A and B are shown apart, each in its own frame.
Chain A
Amino acid sequence: MATRWYQPYIGVKNRGINPEGFHVSQIKFYIVLIPLAGLMLLPIIYIFSSAFKPPEELFAYPPPLIVTNPTMKNFNDLFSILSTSGIPVSRYLFNSILITLVTVAASIIISSAAAYALSKKQFRLKQTLFVVNNVALMFVPIAVTIPRFLIVENLNLLDTFWVHVLPVLAMPVGLFLLKQFIDGIPDEVIEAAQIDGASDLHIYWRIILPMIQPALATIAILTFQAAWNNADTSTTYINNESLRTLAFYLTTLTSTTATGADAVAGQGVAAAAALIMFVPNLIIFIFLQSQVMSTMSRSGLK
């Protein structure tokens, strides 16, 4: 046997899947991954750096990637300027925070309740509904912008707070992931509680929810991203400027047709706003990543 490449799995430690430590065989992966990760990070480094650049560095040629004299000026500018319609940026930020909090909380409750029923309750439409939801994983919301608009209009939801929240809550991926996770809880746990006389609500609230925290964390992240980064709702359904979000405001900063000096000066403010948009995503994911991974391992579509 000339090729003994398989031996590591039997003998040598740290080769193969999920090693515990370093092994020479991993070097080739680092050679690929480090430059690639660097490339992936460049835009994010740009945002962090430009947000703190003073004007002279924003105007410098050639444009420096890394800031040398960091300043908070862009953030001060961002919060002191008014948008063209007279709304302070803090208002957009407040809207974004409130909408995101409400959406995440509602999504966790609504999706997990439905997932509990789909996973552990017996009823006639169970299998059908699960299949329907799986088909809806392929749903591309952007394709039905027009009928959605007509529906929102007919429900009198235009220019309301709730139009930010309600459409995001129908998230097939969220229900799917939660249902898969609850499938992993043995039926005996629930049967034991039923024998003790626990009601459905009690089982859901006191037994299921505490056991599916990783999946709840994952849903929280997905909903957070969907709500926090959502600029389309503000563009399509909202005319009242004071109900629009930070994500929307950011699109107005980047889409202004300003050229030359204005555009460059705007870059600093836009980068500051982009940083405020990006950092919460990052922090939440860092805190919850291990829970996400344990949820994703059950994400298979059969």
Chain B
Amino acid sequence: MKISLSKWVHEEGSAYAFLLPYALLFIVFIVIPVIAAAGLSFTFFDAVQSPRFVGLDNYIALLTQDDTFMRYVLPNTLQFAIIVGPGGYALAFLLAWMLAQLPKIPRTIFALILYSPSMTAGVAMTVVWRALFSGDQTGYLNSFLMGLGLMREPVQWLQSPQYLMSIMIIVTMWSSMGIGFLAMLAGILEISPELYEAAAIDGMSSRWQEIFLITIPSIKPQMLFGAVMAIVGTFQAGAIGVTLSGSNPTPQYAGQLIVNHIEDYGFLRYEMGYAAAISVVLLLMVLFFSRVANRLFASEA
């Protein structure tokens, strides 16, 4: 097939011109880092000498010798991800479903309130959590529980291995009504009322049937979008334990998630090759969970 140059410039060339700035940034800040992480994961690299190829050593070490990873980081990450991911996601869907059944003005107000925690995710909110869970009696939770007579001594919430994970989960759930929540809400509002009427005439007999037979199938694409956002958000939120407790590693590794483990090896111990191997494992986990979501919500072609 022969296409003249001027025609190519006109047709395809201009398309690539429009894409170019985004594509460049995409390649530099997303594609290359992922490839580089994969490449570095097969090396020993201390950021001083150039990387030395070590084959699968990093992965083998991660799976067989990294006691911290196996005993704390992996179980913590899975516990955190399984509660916050599907939990936050189900909550987002249920709230979107409820909001969709309210008139516009209250719906908008509630949506704003529920969405607001995810606007500032992280930084500004640390101020709040520090005050709320403060270890002395001026902390809100301590003063509340002591006021009720439930406790005599203030608890060092953020420094206590037994509480840190629960607090991390609550804090992350609190800010999980993000963009996926808005997508699901918008999706539910778009479902044609005739669908419900038709289903009712066909003999559907409960609200639950309605949710599973009409609502969810009708907004599968938004459900999938929301699921991907929930998965990414969950793993991206992994730094919360270090933010809350103020130390990496977290007290007795109680809140240590895979993201902190990467930072620990990469920026504190300068074992960049090993850290890169952990990054690859993290990316594979995200990919795996996204595949699962895809299975659940893929639209039939």
Could you tell me which A residues sit within 8 Å of B by CB distance?
Answer: 3, 5-7, 9-10, 14-22, 25-26, 29-30, 32-33, 36-37, 40-41, 43-44, 46-47, 50, 59, 61-63, 65, 110-111, 113-114, 116-118, 121-124, 126, 129, 133, 136-148, 150-151, 155, 166-167, 169-170, 172-173, 175, 200, 204, 222, 225, 229, 231, 247, 250-251, 253-255, 257, 259-260, 263-264, 267, 270-271, 273-274, 277-278, 281-282, 285-286, 289-290, 292-294, 296-297, 299-302
Contact = CB atoms under 8 A, between A and B. Distances in A.
Contacts of B267: 145-146
Given A6-B197, A36-B114, A121-B14, 16 more contacts: A5-B200, A16-B196, A18-B101, A25-B101, A29-B99, A47-B128, A63-B131, A122-B11, A129-B19, A139-B34, A146-B40, A175-B22, A200-B14, A273-B124, A285-B119, A292-B182
Contacts of B193: 9, 16-17
Contacts of B220: 300
Query: How many residues of B sit at the interface, in one of the four size bands?
Result: 35 or more
7 contacts: A3-B205, A6-B201, A17-B188, A33-B98, A121-B14, A229-B123, A274-B127
Contacts of A142: 235-236, 238-239, 259, 262
Nearest to A19: B103
A59 B120 CA distance: 26
A21 B103 contact: yes
B23 interface: yes
A29 B101 CA distance: 8
B149 interface: no
Contacts of B15: 117, 121-123, 126
Given A37-B110, A44-B116, A222 B179 contact: yes
B196 A6 contact: yes
Contacts, number: 336
A267 B122 CA distance: 16
Contacts of A296: 179, 182-183, 185-187, 222
Contact of B112 (A155, A274, A285): A285
B85 interface: no
Nearest to A290: B108
Nearest to B266: A146
Given A144-B34, A200-B18, A289-B112, A50 B197 contact: no
Nearest to A169: B25
Given A62-B143, A293-B185, A114 B123 contact: no
A299 B177 CA distance: 16
A123 B114 contact: no
A139 B19 contact: no
B121 to A, nearest CB: 7
List 8 tightest A-B contacts by C-beta distance, closest first.
Answer: A300-B221, A6-B200, A147-B36, A121-B15, A114-B22, A117-B18, A297-B186, A144-B33
Interface string B24-61: 01101110111011001000000000000000000000
B22 A47 contact: no
Contacts of B123: 229, 231, 247, 250-251, 274, 277
